[in-house]
Amino acid sequence: MFKYDRFLNEDKTVKKEFYKDGTRLEYYTMPWGAGKNICIGKEFAVTAIKQFLFLLLTHFDLELCNPDAKIPPVNPSRFGFGMVHPDGDLRVRFRLKRTQHEM
Ligand code: HEM
C-alpha cells in the first residue's frame, strides 16, 4: 500500500522520528535510500537531471536576482550523503535565449 503521508505526524506536521526494529534512525532521509530498498531508478533519474541542466544552461540566459547575493552555506551534518544541499535559496532570473534567426 502506498502511504502518501508517511513523512507526516498524525497532526500533519513534519515527522522527524523514524524507527526500524525498535531503534530510532539517526538518518531517516537519504537522497536515494540505502540497503535493500535503495532506489533502482537512481541512474535513470541522475541522467534525466543532467539532461535538464544541459538544456537549461544551453537554452536560457541566467542571472542572480540580487547581484550581491552570496551562495548559502551547506549543512555539514549531512556530509557523506552525496551532494550536500544548501541551507537556503539563491534566487535566479532566467529567460529563453533568442535563436540566431530571431536576431
Ligand atoms: C530524483 C528522482 C528520484 C529520487 C530522489 C528517488 C528516491 C528514492 C528513495 C529515497 C527510495 C528509497 C525509499 C525507501 O527507502 O523507502 C527510492 C526507492 C525506489 N525508487 Fe526512486 N527515486 C527517484 C527516481 C526514481 C525513478 C525514475 C524510478 C524508476 C524508473 C525509481 C524507482 C524506485 C523504486 C522501484 C524504489 C523501491 C526500491 C525497493 O524498495 O526495492 N525511482 N527512490
Which neighbouring-strand residues pair with 20? 23
Ligand 1 contact via 25 beta carbon (within 6 Å): no
Flag whether pLDDT at 60 surpasses 80: yes
Tell me, what's the pLDDT at 89? 92
**Among 48, 18, 23, 47, residue whose Cα is nearest residue 33:** 18
Question: Which residue's CA is minimally distant from atom 28 of ligand 1?
Answer: 41
Question: Which residue's CA is minimally distant from atom 3 of ligand 1?
Answer: 45
pLDDT tens digits, one per residue of 9-51: 999 999 999 998 999 988 888 888 888 889 999 999 999 999 9
Average pLDDT over residues 62-72: 95
Q: Name the pLDDT band for 82 (thresholds 50, 70, 90).
A: confident
